[in-house]
Structure 1
Amino acid sequence: MNARTARLITLSLAGACGVMALAGVLAWMGAGRGYGWLPETEAPPVTGVGRIDTEAVVMPPDSEFAEVRQRPIFNDDRKPTPIVEDVKVVDAPTAPLNITLTGIILTPDVKLAMVRDNGKNEAVSLRVGMPLPGEQAGWTLTEIRSRSVVFKNPQDETSEVELEVAPGLTVPPSARAVPPPPPPGAAPAAPPTGNAPTNVPGQPPPDRAAELQRRIEERRREMREQAEKLREQQEQVK
């Protein structure tokens, strides 16, 4: 602390002591002796508009309001508002289900059903609890199975849609038909020659099997892309 600061503090304390000494001298001389508290008196009773009525208000009988009900002041024609009974709203019938199930994705994290609206020829991916878009919005997806899905409408009607299988895919291309074993004592079958057909009945030719395998791989790729897009949309919403 420097000398200037100490001087300012000393002057401030000296001024405060002077003010207190002056107040003490004035009090000793009788300053303020003529003032005191007013005597406690009861407040005068309130009359007129500001009076508080302690009695409960009693409403007049209901018969005195008959004219008010017959000629309500808030209606332009001063006529009573007619009482309209509640009309029960009947749900309109839901449009018939017209879709094709084109694919199903079942994983521990993702469950999707890919359907095509046959009327608009539009593809859409749905999860459980999602309704169909457009005119078929009354149908909601309630269950996804391995080979089918189940939809339900407001009338508690359910409809199961099977997975669409392309022609020729009833037998997987990787399956190979094994001929039945020859009966006991029969001569073994001769191996096929170069001129004999090598196709097994019920199995597509090699070129067709490759085409079907290619179509399956393309469909799987499309399903994975759709699942990835839906997952990105869910992350953006969160």
Structure 2
Amino acid sequence: MDNKNEWNDSELKIKEEFQQIYDDYILGANGSKPQPDLSFMSKSFLSSFGWNQVSKVAVSFLIIIFLSSGIAIWINSEQAVATKFKLDQIMYQMKDDTDNISVREDAISYQTTSPKDIDKAKEFYPALYIPSYIPKGYELQQLRIDKLADEEYFVNYIYSDNNKHIISIIINSSTTPGTLEIATETKLVKLDDTDLYVWYDPTSEALRGVCLLDNNTLLSISGVSDQETMIDVISSFEK
């Protein structure tokens, strides 16, 4: 049987997601806007082109719709963010080189255990902070980056030594100013032009971690008991 005019899974996913995106828009606009011309998705249109050509047409059309300046006419900013995230999910699901990437309903994640993959991690998240100093004897056990639906990022570096001592670095990046704050139960430490915040266990007063707020990104480190080491590590992070 000739199956060239049937949808494969990737193309069905694109078609369904685009239709859902537009249906959501129509619902928000009380159905007042005309339907777009979706003939490029029809089977009759499919049969008149090469199989791969239609797949590229569909993907290209989705990208053009989102990136065009007319997106504001179609959907509001909140819908635009959700739409972009949905399209990102589809694109990552269709890529070949996605061994380190997983797609979930609420996040797209990159994960590696090798420092050699840092460049690939930067491709996934160009604004990734990278440490230039890690204490001797510690090796990377995991780097995980979660890209969330609201265009915020959550990053976790985990390092350990031969004695299984752990250094955990967590980075939260927000696109909304003022959403990330330093806890009040901290001690301010000045380092050149950088404000660092040290926090302790409220009961035992043991050192728990050090954090800093860089624009809309909060970096925090925990796991080692030496405040100076924590400060050296957290202050070494650069984009």
- TM-score norm. by structure 1 comes to 0.18
With a CA cutoff of 8 Å and minimum separation of 6, indicate the structure with the bigger relative contact order: 2
TM-score normalized by structure 2?
A: 0.18
Greater strand content: 2
Higher helix fraction: Structure 1 or Structure 2? 2
Rg: which structure is higher? Answer: 1
